[in-house]
Structure 1
Amino acid sequence: MSAASNIHSLLARLLPEQINCPPASPGRRQRQFVGVGLPSQRALLVNRLDEAHDLQVIYADLRQQALAGSVAALNDLGWIWLNGKYWRADTGLAGHLLRMAALQGNAAAWFNLGQQHYFGKGVATSYVQAEACYRQAFERGLLHAAAALGDLYEEEVCDAALGWQVDMDQAYQWFFRGAEEGEARCRFEVGYRLLHGLHVNPDTRAALYWLELAAATGVIQAAEELAVHFSRGDDARYRDWRDRAVQMGSSLALTMKLEDQVQP
């Protein structure tokens, strides 16, 4: 029997015919997990779930897709059971499904396994395992994993007792790798560090380059940084970025504009 046949034989036994349990009343910790991970179908699946009158219909569809060989559906089911927002969480089942999808090359599943290890959802918290999974996700084309790796290397919350050390140089390198590949938040993180000289030598010209690229793809913080920077000596560019940030929904930029209007 092939590996694929083994996987799908196991999958047929793992996936229940129906989902019967509504989500548990979320405590503070459970609410933190609601946004964990990424579905393969992103906004499309979330909209379907949020607007569904009968979640069983969506589950039946995802189950059928998974049994037919859809690795994306396999990841999505793992993601739903990992979060516990739409039906009761089952982190053990989530882990099985995500590993099955990951071993078939699904980048989002690798990322979700990283989230499971990072948050300790049904497994012991392990930043080492999270890092390994995020790397696999990035190598398979999930650029957002570079931002997760940058965060992981610079977060002081990560306990050294768990075998992890903060490394600001590594953090910057991951943000830079993501920025080079076009990941919007990574571009902001690189620009911000270069502008303020955080753990790197300051380079205003390079900083503005990365911040403008990030702002052009909708990163509000990048537009805010540009407005603040140009407010110190380039009125035309300041007003341009201030107004762009306002249009993007920045409360900081709106406050700046209101203050400009009342000044003589």
Structure 2
Amino acid sequence: MEHNQFRAWLKLQGIEHEEKWLEQFDSACKEDGQAIVNIALLYKVHGQYDEMYDLLNKAVEQQNREAMYELGNCYFEQLGEKGSEHQAFLLYQSAAQLGHPDAMNNLADMYLNGEGTAVDEQRALSWFKKAAQLGVAEAMFTLGMMYEQGLGTECDESQAFAYYSCSAELQDVEAMYRIGMICFSGELGQQQDQEKAVEWFLKASEQFHVDATFNIGYCYEHGCGVTRNNDKAIHYYKKASLLGDMEATKKIVNYYELTDPAEVTKWREKLIVLNNDINE
């Protein structure tokens, strides 16, 4: 595609910041590796998979680690029905060896889950640690899980809690929820602290974590770490229901059966919809 053809394509797609993208396109034509990746990802967003693959493969030939990582993602997702998990594994491996943090995390995931390669928990642990050292919050969360469950290493509650905490501080939503559960129940050798649990559930709920949102409703309903408040309990149960939680919806139905017949009908209908979605 030439400069004017790319300009016409941008207009056809209604893409903003046309001049910025034209500059990126011209840089890509001059073999700028990052610009090549940027244009490839623009094609990805707009479903132009053949053009995307052509550009990413071109950048991979230049040993561009970002291109290796992104092409690995595309093969893993099998966009355009191309690629395989094993090809994704090889690309993540190459990018990880060149120091790409997210590729290290994805490579570790594949070792842990046996995707595109044989299960190897110890190699998974090693790569998760490398990714964690480079600040990947998801890797820290998984390390917490591995130390908690003894995957690829001995069980170590102290290490597990430390990794979960680091991940949560970096705003990983699953880690925030897990820390909330640890505080709520007093797990991993930690003292029970339901007030702190609610704080972490609230942080996870802000990122639309459905179980954390349900738990806040439960805490307000039963006075766990907060003062009992039925209105706030229902508020959070409604939020959880809108995120697809059936148990929260049942809680709302039970509440309105005693207080508001009109609301009961609406939430029973919601419960039917959720039940149908689960059974489809």
What's the TM-score once normalised by structure 2's chain length?
0.66
RMSD of Structure 2 on Structure 1 (CA): 2.8
Q: Distance in 1 between matches of 2:181 and 2:110?
A: 29
In structure 2, the partner of 1:195 is 184
Of the three residues 40, 52, 60, the one matched with 2:54 is 60
In structure 1, the partner of 2:138 is 144
Q: Deviation of residue 228 (structure 1)?
A: 0.9
Of the three residues 25, 48, 51, the one matched with 2:44 is 48
Taking every aligned residue pair, what percent have the same amino acid on both sides?
19
Of the three residues 209, 214, 235, the one matched with 2:230 is 235
Q: Distance in 1 between matches of 2:123 and 2:41?
A: 27
Of the three residues 212, 215, 218, the one matched with 1:222 is 212
- The one-character-per-residue Cα deviations of 1:150-176 (angstroms, maximum 9, x if unpaired) are 2222347x4xxxx53333332222111
Q: Distance in 1 between matches of 2:73 and 2:122?
A: 21
- The one-character-per-residue Cα deviations of 1:107-129 (angstroms, maximum 9, x if unpaired) are 11101110121123454422121
Of the three residues 219, 234, 244, the one matched with 1:249 is 244
Tell me, yes or no, if the aligned pair for 1:150 and 1:170 is still in contact at 8 Å.
Answer: yes
Unaligned runs of 5+ in 2: 1-36, 223-227, 260-280
Unaligned runs of 5+ in 1: 1-40
Q: Structure 1 residues 82, 166: closer, same or farther in 2, change over 3 A?
A: farther
Q: Deviation of residue 225 (structure 1)?
A: 0.6
- Out of 110-119 and 135-144, give the one that drifted further: 135-144
Q: Deviation of residue 212 (structure 1)?
A: 0.9
Q: Distance in 1 between matches of 2:143 and 2:153?
A: 13
Tell me, yes or no, if the aligned pair for 2:76 and 2:83 is still in contact at 8 Å.
Answer: no
Q: Structure 1 residues 142, 47: closer, same or farther in 2, change over 3 A?
A: farther
Residue 116 in structure 1 maps to residue 138 in structure 2: no
Q: Distance in 2 between matches of 1:220 and 1:124?
A: 33
Paired residue secondary structure (1:231): helix
- Matches for 1:146-165 after TM superposition, within 5 Å: 146-155=140-149, 158=151, 164-165=153-154
Q: Distance in 2 between matches of 1:212 and 1:66?
A: 42
Of the three residues 243, 258, 263, the one matched with 2:258 is 263
- Higher share of residues assigned helix: 2
Tell me, yes or no, if the aligned pair for 1:80 and 1:89 is still in contact at 8 Å.
Answer: no
Q: Structure 1 residues 122, 222: closer, same or farther in 2, change over 3 A?
A: closer
Aligned residues: 214
- Out of 245-254 and 207-216, give the one that drifted further: 245-254
Tell me, yes or no, if the aligned pair for 1:105 and 1:140 is still in contact at 8 Å.
Answer: no
- Matches for 1:68-107 after TM superposition, within 5 Å: 68=62, 70-82=64-76, 86-89=81-84, 91=86, 93-107=87-101
Q: Deviation of residue 45 (structure 1)?
A: 5.9
What's the TM-score once normalised by structure 1's chain length?
0.70
Q: Distance in 2 between matches of 1:262 and 1:122?
A: 51
Of the three residues 213, 224, 231, the one matched with 2:203 is 213
Q: Distance in 2 between matches of 1:99 and 1:153?
A: 24
Amino acid corresponding to residue 48 of structure 1 in structure 2: K
